[in-house]
A and B are shown apart, each in its own frame.
Chain A
Amino acid sequence: MRWTQFAPAVAAGFLITPTLRAAPIADDEVRSKVDARVADWWLKPEEKRFDQIGWAPDLRTARKLSAEHDRPLFLFTMDGRVNTGRC
């Protein structure tokens, strides 16, 4: 992974994003403004490509499938949860 850089594009994107803390949100705007922020920050399809890989559920199943389909087994070991990005 790389440190997030304060690139101009990111800065521009941030500046046009409405900041909720600038002023308290009126009661009648809470739902729409919170929904907009959730949509803005939610994971985009290109950030979920990890899910496009056909991962075997565990190592022993992968070994079995590898033998059955005559394919090499690719194992990635890591600390934390690569599937959620908390790693």
Chain B
Amino acid sequence: MRTGPFSSTDVIDRLNRSFVPVYAVNEDYEAKNVVSKEERDEYTRIYREALSKKFSAGSVHVYVLNPRGEVIGTRHVADAAKTKELIPFLDDLVNKLGTKGGKPVVEPKAQSRPPEHPKGSIVLHLAARGLGGGGSWDGTAENWVVYTPDEAKKLLPAGPAEGGTAWELDPKLATRLLVHVYPVTENNDPKKNEIREQALRGKVLAVKDGVALARLDGHLVMRHDFYHRPDGKVVETGLVGYFEFEPATGAVRTFRLVTDGATYGGGKFGVAVRSE
């Protein structure tokens, strides 16, 4: 949906002009403490009402409610994902309701945002995309990884940082980032990924005006199932990057890391990481 109708300006215009759009992540509604009981109850009510009215219903679905909260139409994602089918579905409901269009009720804003974090944290933003040869879905994917100020210091050399200083970045902290290095797939549970080999080394290239520039080199071999069942597929990639930090304070100014010749499932992919 993200790369299909939700990237179509025709759909976007309709949703903004005539609807109140909202999305619900099933995992959040199934968990005990992510959303309120009232929120979960409303989600369940909509699902059950759709069924009682003989509409299609499911966990990956589109539901449309009238302003009184009554379910008036649904679409399975397989149908909703077809922009040419979704548009007449939306237009028909708007025409039936006589909705007067206008500006978006909610101001659009970035939907991919970092988690809450303490001041001084390193906030890393990861982007993944296929580069040909298959093995992944179309489109792009993002992740956020945050290191607290105390954790950030563990990414730096333990001793003085001088030209030529080399060190291994804290493996546990590196794992937290590397577990997200995979292309766009159906399985997005990092706990299911199995890192078989990983390395991420730093080497200080220069120190100037109190700021050290270090290069990063490494590699990753990680089993990652495309779907939520074992398929033996493996991510294999080199890693290269750099980061700038202040040896005196431990503050990290810039962090960049990219995959180097990454392969998965017979295709190629790329992952880029940058500090925000």
Could you list which residues of chain A lie within 8 angstroms of chain B, going by C-beta atoms?
Answer: 1-6, 10-11, 14, 17, 19-21, 25, 27, 30-31, 33-35, 37-38, 40-43, 46-63, 65-67, 69-87
Name the segment of B35-43, B147-155, B170-178, B245-253 touching the other chain.
B35-43
Residue B42 contacts which of A21, A54, A59, A76 (CB distance < 8 angstroms)? A59
Q: In whole Å, how far is A62's beta carbon from the nearest beta carbon of chain B?
A: 4
- A-B pairs with beta carbons under 8 Å apart, 27 shown: A2-B138, A17-B131, A20-B258, A21-B238, A27-B215, A40-B272, A41-B272, A51-B110, A53-B12, A53-B104, A54-B15, A59-B46, A62-B21, A63-B69, A71-B19, A72-B65, A72-B67, A73-B19, A74-B20, A74-B90, A75-B24, A75-B64, A76-B24, A78-B23, A82-B6, A84-B143, A87-B188
What 9 new A-B contacts, CB under 8 Å, besides A5-B134, A30-B205? Answer: A20-B260, A51-B108, A51-B109, A52-B16, A52-B108, A53-B16, A70-B100, A76-B62, A80-B25
CB distance A76 to B1 under 8 Å?
yes
Q: In whole Å, how far is B227's beta carbon from the nearest beta carbon of chain A?
A: 11
B94 interface contact, C-beta 8 A:
yes
Residue A55 contacts which of B21, B26, B133 (CB distance < 8 angstroms)? B21
- In the assembled complex, the Cα of A62 lies from the Cα of B46 at a distance in Å of 13
B184 interface contact, C-beta 8 A:
yes
CB distance A6 to B133 under 8 Å?
yes
Q: In whole Å, how far is A22's beta carbon from the nearest beta carbon of chain B?
A: 8
CB distance B241 to A66 under 8 Å?
no
- Most chain A Cβ neighbours within 10 Å, of B19, B59, B137: B19
B 1-34 to A, binary, CB cutoff 8 A, 1 in contact else 0? 1111011110010011011111111110000000
Residue B140 contacts which of A14, A65, A77, A85 (CB distance < 8 angstroms)? A85
CB distance A11 to B132 under 8 Å?
yes
Could you list which residues of chain B lie within 8 angstroms of chain A, going by C-beta atoms?
Answer: 1-4, 6-9, 12, 15-16, 18-27, 35-36, 38-39, 42-43, 46, 58-69, 72, 77, 80-81, 90, 93-94, 97, 99-100, 102, 104-112, 127, 129-143, 184, 188, 205, 213, 215, 238, 240-242, 256-258, 260-261, 267-268, 270-274
CB distance B62 to A75 under 8 Å?
yes
- Most chain B Cβ neighbours within 10 Å, of A21, A65, A74, A82: A74
